[in-house]
A and B are shown apart, each in its own frame.
Chain A
């Protein structure tokens, strides 16, 4: 039996709906009685915007949603500088020196000259939340979902080993990087990549998969977002796309039927292209999940609807 996934990492190209999918996945995992933590690391208030709640600040872990099935989703916005302060305090008991460092601009300096350090601090904070469950500490979560950096940066972001290699050979930061890496590579962690069935996002998905393989971190699923399902077969779509179909909708004029056929030709051609891109993704040999295009605005109801689609298609350990 595969162990439960307790750490879900969601990446995707900008504009693919990465944050929405991370939110929906957290809701899907939050079945009756379960507590799920949704984290972001890029300081854009993406989570609070998505759930239409007040911005998350500091180390606050606040409840942002109660799902229809009775689970709870909590939100956390991880900030590298807060994380560094906490880190100094925990490992060196240096909260006063930490404040002095901050006054000299050293925190900004340290996280800027060593971008890897920033990533270790960010993943470290999320790691700590995941570990609470393992150690059965209070306030533990059943699973943690991370709205991670985009596909172009994801492998670099998660490869905390490489990040600290040039910085520290020994010491607490090295030990912590080792522990984070062990958990990232364990069977309880999975990276999910969100994509649209468009050329660039699919290409970036392929590149991210190739970049993640050497890190030995498992890729869970590729989530195809904003897919338009069709009951038509390939032949029907090709005929429609060729523009040679004459539609006869009773009640519409010949001109209107013609306009409908032209519009449908474009729609059918787009669906055919999407199917080709789906084939490219199939070639990756990873589980694929499809989320239908929601033509309305994204509100909490829409997030729950996407969560249902994820529950139906992913073998979520929540069940």
Chain B
């Protein structure tokens, strides 16, 4: 990219003289100790595209990569040229394998993953009982934390497979556009506290141990829940819990193992944002939460940063347009007005990024300029990869 007037130069040399550290994607994917890259961020910031571009770039640099998307939209499949993504990794055709790498892609099937876990960890009879249970059906397809929980389960599975067979040496994860920023990390805790919690125990008379003392409390609780939800669901829950009891321990153990894996030096988080107020506010929340949880963050990818190669201020462009107004130079007038708008947008974006950087000066960043067209194929993804890795 050329010099010229662009937001990036303003971020690198803001008035306070503070320099934002550069997020070096090539260094991350070149480090063989990096085994898991997790991309997170709010909805609509280009997470899926970033994940796919990082995965493609890593594979063409010689890594054996699998990219896991949890986004229900079929964008990743589209852009990678894979017809349909299901719960199984599929090889991405047409990538450059000269460096010895490979690229597989898969999309999480939440219910399928849950079913597999049940089948793998219980007797056929018990598995059958669980899979047919109404409560299980609701839990496995609708519960708000199941998607994130199953993503962790799948990530754990892929990691074990990678370690055991050397199928992959890098897993790139595209997280769901979680409503509250870090559901991805909270979900296992939430689901296991739900499945393992006091309340479920209360539903299983006779109450054991000290819980028996809460008998009176329980009858009120049970009566109310029955009133609101109906007796059937309580019975389903009870049946489910009995059948599922043996699985609880395993679930929690694996979730804990995956959590530890995520906090190890083999994993790294990329926070994805765009240079708008809302997206940067979400990104700040992500960075802070990840830091609190002790998760390794490499830095932030700022997508769709606008740039211009023409160093003419919006005021000057508008004044030139005004001079030409009414003449036959309609194209010139429109081009100048558009340029003025673009420059204003660049200023607003630079201002937003400066505010982010001054509050969190240690967060490394890389910026990807706004592309004129949608990213829908491998060559466009490659270009995004180049922009991601490009320092300037």
Q: Which A residues form the contact surface with B (CB < 8 A)?
A: 13-16, 42-44, 49, 88, 92, 94, 97-98, 100-101, 104-106, 108-110, 112-118, 150, 152, 166-169, 171, 173, 198-201, 204, 228, 230-232, 236, 240, 245, 247-252, 256, 259-264, 266-267, 269-270, 273, 293, 295-298
The reply to whether A236 and B342 contact each other, CB–CB distance below 8 Å, is no
Given contacts A113-B138, A115-B142, contact A167 B233 (CB under 8 A): yes
Residues of B within 8 A of A106 (CB): 199, 221, 224-225
From B44, B200, B281, contact of A16 by CB (8 A): B44
Q: Nearest-CB distance from B140 to chain A (Å)?
A: 11
Given contacts A249-B320, A249-B324, A261-B335, contact A104 B348 (CB under 8 A): no
Residues of B within 8 A of A110 (CB): 225, 228-229
CB-nearest residue of chain B to A42: B179
Q: How far is the CA of A261 from the CA of B44 in the complex (A)?
A: 30
26 A-B contacts (beta carbon < 8 Å): A14-B42, A14-B177, A15-B42, A15-B44, A43-B180, A44-B180, A88-B228, A104-B198, A105-B193, A112-B190, A113-B135, A113-B138, A113-B237, A150-B43, A167-B233, A168-B229, A228-B338, A231-B330, A247-B331, A247-B332, A249-B335, A252-B312, A260-B310, A263-B339, A267-B338, A297-B348
Q: How far is the CA of A293 from the CA of B306 in the complex (A)?
A: 14
The reply to whether A105 and B310 contact each other, CB–CB distance below 8 Å, is no
Q: Nearest-CB distance from A57 to chain B (Å)?
A: 16
From A15, A150, A236, A264, contact of B45 by CB (8 A): A15
Q: From DSSP, what is the main secondary structure of chain B's interface residues?
A: helix
The reply to whether B339 and A109 contact each other, CB–CB distance below 8 Å, is no
Given contacts A97-B220, A109-B194, A295-B345, contact A13 B44 (CB under 8 A): yes
Q: How far is the CA of A230 from the CA of B43 in the complex (A)?
A: 29
The reply to whether A198 and B135 contact each other, CB–CB distance below 8 Å, is no
Q: Nearest-CB distance from A207 to chain B (Å)?
A: 10
Given contacts A104-B198, A104-B202, contact A200 B73 (CB under 8 A): yes
Residues of B within 8 A of A250 (CB): 320, 323-324
- Binary per-residue interface labels of chain B (273-310) against chain A in the complex, 1 for a CB within 8 Å, 0 otherwise: 01001110100000000000000000000000000111
Residues of A within 8 A of B274 (CB): 15
The reply to whether A88 and B224 contact each other, CB–CB distance below 8 Å, is yes
CB-nearest residue of chain B to A245: B331
Q: How far is the CA of A261 from the CA of B217 in the complex (A)?
A: 75
Count A-B contacts at CB 8 Å.
173
Q: Nearest-CB distance from A205 to chain B (Å)?
A: 13
The reply to whether B372 and A266 contact each other, CB–CB distance below 8 Å, is yes
Q: Nearest-CB distance from A284 to chain B (Å)?
A: 19
The reply to whether B138 and A263 contact each other, CB–CB distance below 8 Å, is no
The reply to whether B72 and A152 contact each other, CB–CB distance below 8 Å, is yes
Given contacts A247-B332, A249-B332, A273-B373, contact A105 B309 (CB under 8 A): no
From A42, A166, A201, A249, contact of B138 by CB (8 A): A166
Given contacts A110-B228, A166-B138, A263-B309, contact A97 B221 (CB under 8 A): yes
Q: How far is the CA of A296 from the CA of B277 in the complex (A)?
A: 11
- Binary per-residue interface labels of chain B (188-213) against chain A in the complex, 1 for a CB within 8 Å, 0 otherwise: 00100110011110100000000000
Q: How far is the CA of A17 from the CA of B222 in the complex (A)?
A: 43
Q: Is B144 an interface residue (CB 8 A)?
A: yes
- Binary per-residue interface labels of chain B (321-337) against chain A in the complex, 1 for a CB within 8 Å, 0 otherwise: 00110000111101110
- Binary per-residue interface labels of chain B (39-81) against chain A in the complex, 1 for a CB within 8 Å, 0 otherwise: 0001111000000000000000000000000001101000000
The reply to whether B143 and A115 contact each other, CB–CB distance below 8 Å, is yes
Q: Nearest-CB distance from B384 to chain A (Å)?
A: 15
Residues of A within 8 A of B372 (CB): 266, 269-270
Q: Nearest-CB distance from B201 to chain A (Å)?
A: 10
Q: Nearest-CB distance from B194 to chain A (Å)?
A: 6
CB-nearest residue of chain A to B352: A297
- A sample of 12 more A-B contacts (CB under 8 A), given A101-B224, A260-B339, is A104-B202, A105-B193, A106-B224, A113-B143, A199-B376, A232-B330, A249-B332, A250-B323, A260-B336, A263-B335, A267-B342, A295-B345
Q: How far is the CA of A211 from the CA of B139 in the complex (A)?
A: 23
Q: How far is the CA of A295 from the CA of B345 in the complex (A)?
A: 5
Residues of A within 8 A of B230 (CB): 167-169
Q: How far is the CA of A42 from the CA of B370 in the complex (A)?
A: 29
The reply to whether A295 and B344 contact each other, CB–CB distance below 8 Å, is yes
CB-nearest residue of chain B to A233: B330
Residues of B within 8 A of A168 (CB): 228-230
Residues of A within 8 A of B338 (CB): 228, 263-264, 267
Residues of B within 8 A of A100 (CB): 217, 220-221
Residues of A within 8 A of B180 (CB): 43-44
The reply to whether B227 and A117 contact each other, CB–CB distance below 8 Å, is no
Residues of B within 8 A of A261 (CB): 335
Q: How far is the CA of A272 from the CA of B72 in the complex (A)?
A: 29
Given contacts A110-B225, A262-B309, contact A198 B374 (CB under 8 A): yes
Residues of A within 8 A of B229 (CB): 110, 114, 117, 167-168
The reply to whether B331 and A296 contact each other, CB–CB distance below 8 Å, is no
CB-nearest residue of chain B to A17: B278
Q: Is B145 an interface residue (CB 8 A)?
A: yes
CB-nearest residue of chain A to B372: A266
